[in-house]
């Protein structure tokens, strides 16, 4: 406990940093749940593909430590482009292959849930077996650096050297911390405005509120669902870039734990509610760090899930309630 | 919508549990050679350890050594070859008992090199003991393994009861650390080792933490280490966690020395931690390759790289079993043969005491320099 009090700001800032990643991934769960009433369990893999895209693009561009500011900005920008494109693409493909055929046949929601879990395994294993897949198509030599040790960690070169910017309560807040927290909030504000103001955003809200009425009013439901998956994927891609900048190491199963955490964050904040996902992510990140400080790091997940259970006991719809379709966006 | 949620939460938990034991497939490596002459026993030896998965490198280094021993044997006994059977546990204790059963049911298997890790040894060795199938582990270092009275258990290297004190000694005497932080990964191996280091360092340990395997975000541990003012950190665990841990510590500006043990002596640690790995001290009861130049050159000729962690120990373990086969032993008589064995191997004098521990033990220190693991001498 003394440790937590002494290093309160250190635990807080680092908790907010990882919480920002949870929040961005949580948006994907929340958006899809909002329009489809479906938990897209494969969303964790959408995130994982983003981490690899971010890593690979830096490898292709020859990213290395100690480069100039302009160069670093270019690399980070390319990481965003690659990760968002990859995650968006995977999310849209996922919807096409794993969910749309079921929806067309009016399958019950539970079937879609099973399909989601299956898709999650398939996507993770494709990444985990990429060395063999490259071998089958005869590209294992060309792609050696990208596919070798495919079931092991893959590390990103430190392209941004963390530098203390200012000190708060004994903790040196670094450029990476600030970039991740501010960047994530900025992206969420943009998303919030997109859902609230744009035509497509209105479509998303309409389908979330009442799919049949929306269809009668001329909203193309399939298109709206596709856009929802795309937007969720893009958010996961952004999360993947922040994750790689902060953690720096990914693996074919890296999405799993993070996905469960992000789903927890979404439920915590009120699934279907965009601002709830943001709040849930930050609360979860903080709770994990404070819990680790007080009772030891091995209790990190226990603390997170106990918190979830407690909140659901007293507020079954989460902190902010379910509301994608309601007046607030 | 409430009802979907009711399904979803337990499902998330179930999926978590599933992920913990499943989700890993396997790149299998082809066994060395095939077949043998009809008249002979067609015996096999087993290689039990992680050959795929995040810890695969450690298993593959051993397997390379074992294959080299097999090549030597099969060259001499071309009319009656011995083949290698791989039992790929991925280093996962939950997969070990089923694989042990598979090995026991294959009557041609007369001995096992492995299990490579301590957790899987604890899970699989009772079955091997019951079946009377000899296991010689070239790498599992948890001391308690030898205390179970398993008559089939042999260990071709020093255990953590020698490695732990050696690591503590190095931290105290060579690094001259006065404030040491100790982290373990709650595994059979990592916790056992870290607890020995904690005990030996006594009051100079300024803080403790336990992480989980597969964890990637270590921000809470990083805060604990940096705020403790530690000048050295001992981590008991494996490289998949060691790499992100040291990377995040360096990112947070921690300047102390990172000390790890044999579970991290693996090139993938450096590949992933990159610059953050520089200066890391690795203790290991494994013998550096230049101690046995003949073995080093033979290994290099076959694999085009220097022998790595426990390659020599793997070679020695396999050689003992192959000598047994050459002496006409089968599964039942192999135990006594190994017990009485006393010959010079490539790593040390190969001889076991009553508990199956190696009689001749040395611990070495290694250091990460310019992206390579180099030996800095024996810890005496």
Q: Which among B177, B187, B195, B378 has a CA at the least distance from the CA of B259?
A: B177
CA dist B305 → A141, A239, B281, B302, B366 (Å): 19, 39, 22, 8, 18
- Does CATH number 3.40.50.2300 belong to domain B161-284? yes
CA distance B160 to A319: 49
CA distance B35 to A252: 36
Length of chain B: 380
DSSP assigned state of A96: I
Strand B342-344 vs strand B232-236: parallel, antiparallel, or unpaired? unpaired
Q: Where are the domains of chain B?
A: 26-158+290-351, 161-284
DSSP assigned state of B184: E
DSSP assigned state of B186: S
**Six-digit token pair at B197?**
């280091």
Where residue A116 falls among pLDDT bands split at 50, 70, 90? very high
CA distance B118 to B143: 9
Q: Where are the domains of chain A?
A: 24-255
Contacts of B219 in chain A (CB under 8 A): 11, 14-15, 17-18, 289
Q: Do B216 and A247 touch (CB under 8 A)?
A: yes
* pLDDT recorded at residue A57: 96
Q: Which fold has domain B26-158+290-351?
A: Rossmann fold (3.40.50)
Contacts of A131 in chain B (CB under 8 A): 27
Q: Taking a C-beta distance cutoff of 8 angstroms, is the pair A14, A178 a contact? A: no
Contacts of B7 in chain A (CB under 8 A): 110, 113
**Six-digit token pair at A124?**
């993770």
Q: Is A91 helix (H, G, I), strand (E, B) or coil?
A: helix
* pLDDT recorded at residue B293: 87
Mutate to test the interface with B, among A5, A6, A14, A156 (most CBs of B within 10 A): A14
- Nearest by CB to residue B274, choosing from A158, A258, A298, is A158
* pLDDT recorded at residue B25: 40
Within the 235-264 window of chain B, which residues sit less than 8 Å (CB to CB) from chain A?
240, 243-244, 247-248, 251-253
Q: Which among A262, A245, A261 has a CA at the least distance from the CA of A303?
A: A261
Main-chain phi, psi angles of B351, to 5 degrees: -160, 140
- Nearest by CB to residue A322, choosing from B1, B23, B244, is B1
- Closest CA of chain A from B112, distance in Å: 25
CA angle A84, A22, A37 (to 5 degrees): 80
Alpha helices in B22-141 (DSSP H): 56-76, 96-105, 118-131
- Please give the average per-residue pLDDT across A8-32, as a whole number: 94
**Six-digit token pair at A323?**
């509301």
Main-chain phi, psi angles of A154, to 5 degrees: -130, 130
Spell out the residues 6+ positions from residue B277 whose beta carbon is closer than 8 angstroms to its own. Answer: B243, B246, B269, B270, B368, B371
Q: Do A39 and B1 touch (CB under 8 A)?
A: no
- Closest CA of chain B from A282, distance in Å: 14
CA distance B309 to B286: 6
For B184, nearest residue in chain A (alpha carbons): A298
- Closest CA of chain A from B206, distance in Å: 12
* pLDDT recorded at residue B36: 40
Q: Is A41 helix (H, G, I), strand (E, B) or coil?
A: coil
Length of chain A: 329
* pLDDT recorded at residue A80: 97
Q: Which among B30, B272, B86, B27 has a CA at the least distance from the CA of A135?
A: B27
CA distance B119 to B145: 9
Residue A138 has pLDDT above 70, yes or no: yes
**pLDDT digit string, tens, across residues A219-247:** 999 999 999 999 999 999 999 999 999 99
CA distance B353 to B341: 10
Q: Do A154 and B272 touch (CB under 8 A)?
A: yes
Q: Is B134 helix (H, G, I), strand (E, B) or coil?
A: strand
Contacts of A132 in chain B (CB under 8 A): 27
Where residue A324 falls among pLDDT bands split at 50, 70, 90? low
Cβ neighbours around B261 below 10 Å, total: 29
ipTM value of the model? 0.88
> Where is pLDDT greater, at A325 or B74?
B74
HEC string for A213-224: HHHHCCCCHHHH
CA dist A227 → A26, A81, A194 (Å): 17, 18, 12
Q: Give Cα B31 distance to the centre of its chain.
A: 20
A with B: how many residue pairs have Cβ under 8 Å apart? 169
pTM of the full structure: 0.83
Tens-of-pLDDT digits for all 380 residues of chain B?
A: 444 444 444 444 444 444 444 434 444 444 444 444 445 788 999 999 999 888 888 899 999 999 999 999 999 998 889 999 999 999 999 999 999 999 999 999 999 998 999 999 999 999 999 999 999 999 999 999 999 999 999 999 988 888 999 999 999 999 999 999 999 999 989 999 999 999 999 999 999 999 998 888 999 999 999 999 999 999 999 999 999 999 999 998 899 999 999 999 988 899 999 899 999 999 998 888 778 888 999 999 999 888 888 999 999 999 999 999 999 999 999 999 999 999 999 988 899 999 999 988 889 999 999 999 999 988 88
Place of tokens 């499902």: B11
Mutate to test the interface with B, among A4, A10, A313 (most CBs of B within 10 A): A10
Where residue A326 falls among pLDDT bands split at 50, 70, 90? low
* pLDDT recorded at residue B39: 54
């Amino acid at each position: 406990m003394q440790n937590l009090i002494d290093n309160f700001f250190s635990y807080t800032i680092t908790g907010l940093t990882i919480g920002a990643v949870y929040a961005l991934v949580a948006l994907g769960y929340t958006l899809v749940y909002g329009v489809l009433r479906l938990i897209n369990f494969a969303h964790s893999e959408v995130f994982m593909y983003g981490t690899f895209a971010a890593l690979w693009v830096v490898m292709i561009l020859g990213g290395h430590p100690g480069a100039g500011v302009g160069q670093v900005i270019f690399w980070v920008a390319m990481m965003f482009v690659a990760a968002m494109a990859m995650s968006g693409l995977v999310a849209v493909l996922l919807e096409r292959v794993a969910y749309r055929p079921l929806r067309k046949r009016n399958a019950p929601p539970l079937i879609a849930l099973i399909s989601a879990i299956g898709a999650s395994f398939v996507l993770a294993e494709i990444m985990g077996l990429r060395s063999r897949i490259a071998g089958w198509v005869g590209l294992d030599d060309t792609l050696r650096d990208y596919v070798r040790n495919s079931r092991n960690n893959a590390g990103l070169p430190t392209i941004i050297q963390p530098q203390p910017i200012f000190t708060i309560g004994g903790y040196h807040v670094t450029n990476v911390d600030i970039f991740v927290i501010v960047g994530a909030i900025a992206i969420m504000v943009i998303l919030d405005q997109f859902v609230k103001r744009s035509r497509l955003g209105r479509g998303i809200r309409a389908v979330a509120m009442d799919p049949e009425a929306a269809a009668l009013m001329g909203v193309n439901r399939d298109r709206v669902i596709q856009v929802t998956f795309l937007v969720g994927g893009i958010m996961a891609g952004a999360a993947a870039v922040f994750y790689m900048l902060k953690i720096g190491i990914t693996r074919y199963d890296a999405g799993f734990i993070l996905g469960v955490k992000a789903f927890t964050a979404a439920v915590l904040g009120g699934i279907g509610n965009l601002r709830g996902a943001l709040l849930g992510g930050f609360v979860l990140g903080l709770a994990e760090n404070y819990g680790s400080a007080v009772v030891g790091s091995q209790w990190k997940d226990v603390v997170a899930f106990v918190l979830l259970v407690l909140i659901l006991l007293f507020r079954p719809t989460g902190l902010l309630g379910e509301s994608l379709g309601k007046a607030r966006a | 919508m409430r009802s979907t949620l009711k399904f979803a939460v337990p499902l998330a938990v179930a999926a978590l549990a599933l992920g913990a034991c499943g989700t890993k497939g396997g790149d299998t490596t082809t066994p060395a050679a095939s077949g043998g002459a009809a008249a002979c026993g067609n015996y096999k030896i087993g290689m039990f350890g992680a050959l795929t998965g995040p810890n695969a490198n450690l298993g593959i280094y051993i397997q390379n050594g074992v294959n080299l021993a097999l090549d030597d044997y099969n060259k001499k006994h071309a009319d009656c070859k011995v083949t290698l059977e791989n039992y790929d546990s991925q280093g996962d204790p939950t997969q070990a008992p089923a694989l042990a059963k598979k090995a026991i049911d294959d009557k041609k298997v007369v001995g096992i090199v492995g299990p490579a890790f301590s957790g899987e040894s604890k899970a699989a060795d009772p079955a091997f003991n019951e079946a009377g199938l000899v296991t010689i582990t070239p790498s599992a270092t948890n001391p308690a393994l030898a205390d179970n009275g398993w008559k089939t258990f042999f260990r071709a290297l020093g255990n953590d009861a020698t490695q732990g004190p050696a690591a503590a000694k190095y931290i105290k005497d060579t690094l001259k650390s006065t404030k040491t932080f100790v982290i373990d990964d709650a595994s059979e191996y990592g916790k056992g080792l870290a607890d020995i280091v904690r005990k030996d360092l006594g009051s100079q340990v300024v803080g403790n933490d336990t992480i989980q395997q597969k964890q990637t975000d270590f921000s809470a541990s990083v805060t604990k280490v940096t705020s403790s003012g530690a000048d050295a950190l001992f981590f008991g665990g494996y490289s998949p966690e060691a790499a992100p841990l040291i990377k995040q510590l360096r990112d947070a500006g921690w300047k102390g020395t990172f000390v790890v043990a044999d579970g991290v002596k693996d090139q993938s640690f450096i590949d992933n931690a990159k610059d953050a790995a520089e200066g890391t001290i690795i203790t290991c009861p494994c013998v550096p390759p230049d101690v046995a130049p003949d073995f080093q050159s033979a290994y290099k000729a076959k694999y085009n790289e220097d022998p790595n962690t426990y390659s020599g120990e793997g070679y020695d373990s396999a050689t003992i079993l192959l000598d047994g086969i050459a002496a006409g032993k089968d599964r039942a008589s192999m135990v006594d043969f190994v017990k009485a064995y006393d010959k010079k191997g490539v790593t040390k004098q190969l001889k076991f005491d009553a508990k199956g521990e190696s009689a001749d033990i040395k611990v070495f220190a290694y250091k990460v320099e310019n992206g390579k693991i180099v030996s800095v001498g024996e810890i005496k």
